[in-house]
Amino acid sequence: MGLLGTIIVIIIVGLIAGFLARAIVPGRQSMGIGATILLGIIGSFVGGFLGFLLFHADPQGGFFQPAGIIGSIIGAIIVLLIWMAVKRRSGARV
């Protein structure tokens, strides 16, 4: 698979993981499709990092590695919860 195929797969996995994370986490998240894809992509790397820490999977890949779809969803949920907490906290300072 070439570079373009890899980018398309990353975007699709990011969209799926971000969408499922937004569906699982209760509350209103005002995000567009681009932010949802970015949430899923960042969640994939968070899931890969947690997978490395917990299971020592693929040590040749280093700490930051893309996770599978389950790891991506778990990572996206974690990132979304952190984002919502930061957004809530910054809104309370007004």
**DSSP secondary structure string, 53-74?**
HHH---GGG-S-----HHHHHH
Is the model's pTM score more than 0.75? yes
Domain of 87?
3-92
Contacts of 13 (CB under 8 A, 6+ apart): 40, 41, 44, 66, 69, 72
> How many independent structural domains does the chain possess?
1
Number of H helices, E strands in the chain: 3, 0
Distance linking the first and last C-alpha atoms of the chain:
49
Convert the pLDDT of each residue in 39-91 to its tens digit: 999 998 888 888 778 877 655 655 556 667 888 899 999 999 999 998 888 77
